[in-house]
Structure 1
Amino acid sequence: MQHTFKIDGMTCGGCASSIRKVLDAQPGVTGAEVDLAAAEARFDYDPAQTPLASIQQAIEDAGYDVVA
């Protein structure tokens, strides 16, 4: 399943890299891409392994805001 989050708080390539690492560390998440200019994170995930809310929480725990 593919999902895109809009993310506030990214200011540089290092931020985008940090978010990509957070996504890659989540069980069942594959193909994570973070676009700094669009302020988006796109990824494929298996909801049976990790619920979307857990992925969102991991991004927020890293210091970024997921925009609803």
Structure 2
Amino acid sequence: MTTQTFRVEDIHCGGCENAIRKALTRLGGVRDVAPDSATNQVRVDFDSSQTSTAAIAERLAAAGYPVIE
């Protein structure tokens, strides 16, 4: 299991957090998603044999929450 924290743009509320959870839990290999609107960060626990940080970042961007590098 791998844990990665992503800084993202525009997490404003609980609705944003729920949208992020929904988008990422549909990605194979993702085990837990913990978005935090106070810090604009998303912690993701995932199986690195099933998905990658790049795939997670792409999914976040597609949901409207691009990763800040």
What TM-score, normalized by structure 2, do the two folds share? 0.90
Corresponding position of 2:38: 37
Residue 51 of structure 2 is matched in structure 1 by: 50
Q: Who is 1:8 aligned against?
A: 9
Q: Alignment partner of 2:67: what SS?
A: strand
Q: How far does residue 44 in structure 1 lie from its aligned partner after superposition?
A: 0.7
Structure 2 runs not aligned, ≥5 long: none
Work out the percentage of aligned pairs sharing the same amino acid.
37
Structure with the bigger percentage of strand: 1
Partner of 2:24: 23
1:11 to partner: Cα distance: 1.7
Q: What SS does the corresponding residue of 1:9 show, helix, strand or coil?
A: coil
1:5 positional shift: 0.3
CA RMSD in angstroms, aligned pairs only = 0.9
Q: Residue type of the partner of 2:38?
A: A
What one-letter code is carried by the residue in structure 2 that aligns with 1:34? P
TM-score scaled to structure 1, two decimals? 0.91
Task: Give the letter for the 2:62 counterpart.
Answer: D
Say which SS state the counterpart of residue 37 (structure 1) adopts. Answer: coil
Q: Distance in 1 between matches of 2:65 and 2:24?
A: 13
